[in-house]
Chain A
């Protein structure tokens, strides 16, 4: 798999620092899971965190801190955090989340909700579009981060295949076109509402707002 489009470095840094909101982190993680290049950057950022910890001035521990910790070592670990397997057509990073059923939202296009807690109006969903279809022509009221899981689409800024990451903001107004051959499935974190254009958009709008 050749990945041509990556999250920018500030996004990867915020993700590694743990300061990116959950919806966008999930989409970045889906990309990172497929991209050794970005895994190396995230690992380097985590090492930055490690180096800062080592260089930090130690705080004064409360009295008996070490004994308190030693006494806990024989405690049984809490019931292991069971994470279900991800649904068969979902990436592994979605395992912790409920995923809705695919819903028809337009010719060749399906949508399903991913139950990542919304953060400042940013939600996560998956889109599935048939080969040769056009995703609805749309603009954005906020950021839209996409990771392609399967198939490919193209728009003004290039071709996006499996693993590719696309960050669009409110300056982008585009009509992604799905390649022939493979159904295209994407994981999307979107802030605000999709501003759909044209008759197809009008048809989809009530569904996509859900």
Chain B
């Protein structure tokens, strides 16, 4: 049995999720698990979680993928983005000081009902490749801030401390990265 998947195309990932939704396909689950669980673990550890906690949350993320597969909508998000949001929500739950935190529900409640038309100008798969292209062209200092924020889950103030730069610089780097992202997404507002 292979324990590491080399890579997984967005299309393949979507097919695996569909296979889980349609027929509880365990082979598809294995593929997704082998690729995503170790990477989610990296993300959580880089954000400061101990190895065992990161491992547990990565497992929980993929179990959630299994349970919610039939609610996945390829029009709205690529599988990678969907899995990121699941892990993000679990991270929020796990590390909030206040255990009453309900924020993970808020992220779901703000989305339009499933039957409403998606409001993105193009399909999620297209967005996926454009975002990837935008990230590739970013200067190193902006990439670092984007990683510290999205991947490691640091608040902007903590990023400033970690990098030893003013908060305003963190924000302006992020703003530049966002502007580039917007260019690639063809947004002009």
Are A97 and B92 touching (Cβ within 8 A)? no
CB <8 Å contact, A9 and B174:
yes
Asked if A39 CB lies within 8 Å of chain B CBs, one says yes
Instruction: Classify the secondary structure of B's interface with A.
Output: helix
A49 contacts B by Cβ under 8 Å: yes
A45 touches B76 (CB 8 A): no
Residues of B within 8 Å of A72, CB to CB, are 59, 63
The chain B residue with its CB closest to the CB of A117 is B98
| Contact code string B9-50 (vs A, CB < 8 Å = 1, else 0) | 000000000000000101001100110111111110100000
Query: Which residue of chain A has its CB nearest to the CB of B44?
Result: A59
Query: Is A70's beta carbon under 8 Å from chain B?
Result: yes
Is B38 within 8 A of A61, CB to CB?
yes
Kindly identify, within residues 66 to 111 of chain B, every residue whose CB is under 8 Å from any CB belonging to chain A. Answer: 66-67, 76-85, 87-89, 91-92, 96, 98, 100-103, 105-107, 109-111
Q: Is A22 in the interface zone, CB < 8 Å from B?
A: yes
Q: Does A210 contact B (CB under 8 A)?
A: no
Interface size on A, residues (CB 8 A): 58
What residues of chain A lie closer than 8 Å to B51, measured between beta carbons?
59, 62
A17 to B95, CA, bound (A): 14
The count of A-to-B residue pairs whose CB atoms sit within 8 angstroms is: 212
The count of residues in chain B whose C-beta lies closer than 8 Å to any C-beta of chain A is: 85
Known interface pairs A10-B171, A22-B101, A73-B29; A51-B80 also in contact (CB < 8 Å): yes
Chain B interface residues (CB < 8 Å from chain A): 1, 3-4, 8, 24, 26, 29-30, 33-34, 36-43, 45, 51-52, 54-55, 58-59, 62-63, 66-67, 76-85, 87-89, 91-92, 96, 98, 100-103, 105-107, 109-112, 119-121, 124, 127-128, 131-132, 135, 146-147, 149-151, 153-156, 171, 174-175, 178-179, 181-182, 185, 187, 189
| Chain A residues within CB distance 8 Å of chain B | 9-10, 13-14, 16-20, 22, 25-26, 29-30, 32-33, 36-37, 39-41, 43-54, 56-62, 65-66, 68-70, 72-73, 77, 81, 83, 92-93, 95-97, 116-117, 119
Pull 26 A–B residue pairs with CB atoms less than 8 Å apart, ordered by A: A10-B175, A13-B174, A18-B89, A19-B154, A22-B96, A29-B110, A40-B120, A41-B178, A41-B187, A44-B127, A45-B181, A47-B128, A50-B79, A50-B131, A51-B132, A53-B151, A59-B45, A62-B52, A65-B59, A66-B33, A69-B59, A70-B26, A70-B30, A77-B67, A97-B102, A116-B102
